[in-house]
Amino acid sequence: MLKDLGALRIALTRSVYDPSDDSFLALEKISEFARGGSLATAADIGCGSGILCALLAKRGFISVCIDVSPCAAQCCAETSRMCGVDALVDVVQCDSGECLRSRAIDVAVSNPPYLPIEGDEGFVWDSGGAKGIEIPLRFLKNMLRSCKRECTVLMIVSSLQRYEVLVNLLAKSCREVVLSWERSFFFERLGCLVGRGCEPWIELR
């Protein structure tokens, strides 16, 4: 299935997350600050359809899309082709960004699964673990591990999860950490967590 979202055209299947409010918030924030230069690199961990990675590539980054789902990896490759940025995008199927080289990325972004769902109650793209933090935390650790010095990290968070764990981890690695709550619904708020001037973080446990 194909879907047009303004300047971006994406590929989807039933098993891949259809971009929603959290995705659009991430796109908005990336548009505000991210502009690649000569050989600047970016990574999107948990890329889903590849919409964030496509925007990063359009803004000049040599980009890596990463997802554990083979369907998502296939959609991301097709999305980058339809957006005309496939020459700038590599797609890798792996878990939580563990395949990324250390100290290799200038900008790392993620719109991870964040709902506090246990077991098999939800979809893969919904469940962040029992407290909504287990998967985002693994993502963030690998984002920081893959950072070059002075890199920028962006992650979408929800008021339903223990987001303070993510804030505290960024505070240990980044010169500046900003959490802004941007979208409010009757049951949750969506926010954008950004770390700037981040240093590589090696410990994974």
CATH number at residue 29: 3.40.50.150
Over the stretch 93-105, which tens digit does the pLDDT of each residue have? 999 899 999 999 9
Q: Return the number of other C-beta atoms located less than 10 Å from residue 196's C-beta.
A: 16
Provide the pLDDT confidence category of residue 123 given band limits of 50, 70 and 90: very low
8 Å CB contact between 143 and 98:
no
Q: What is the C-alpha separation between 174 and 158, in angstroms, rounded?
A: 21
Per-residue pLDDT tens digits for 27-65: 999 998 767 666 899 999 999 999 999 999 999 999 999
203 in any annotated domain: no
Instruction: Answer yes or no: is 205 within a domain.
Output: no
Is residue 153 in some structural domain? yes
The domain in which residue 95 lies consists of: 2-14+21-198
Return the closest-CA partner of residue 196 out of 148, 146, 165, 153.
153
For 65, the 3-state DSSP assignment is strand
Question: Does 90 map to a domain?
Answer: yes
Beta carbons within 10 angstroms of residue 156's beta carbon: 24
* C-alpha–C-alpha distance, residues 18 and 12, integer Å: 7
Q: Is residue 51 helix, strand or coil? A: helix
Domain count for the chain, please give it: 1
Q: Give residue-wise pLDDT tens across range 151-202.
A: 999 999 999 889 999 999 999 999 999 999 988 888 889 999 999 999 987 6
Output the pLDDT for position 132.
62
**DSSP designation for 28:** H
Q: What are the structure tokens assigned to 42, written together?
A: 């970016």
97 assigned to some structural domain: yes
Question: How many other C-beta atoms are found inside a 10 Å radius of the C-beta of residue 102?
Answer: 14
What is the number of other CB atoms lying within 10 angstroms of the CB of residue 187? 8
Please indicate, yes or no, if residue 26 is contained in any of the structural domains: yes
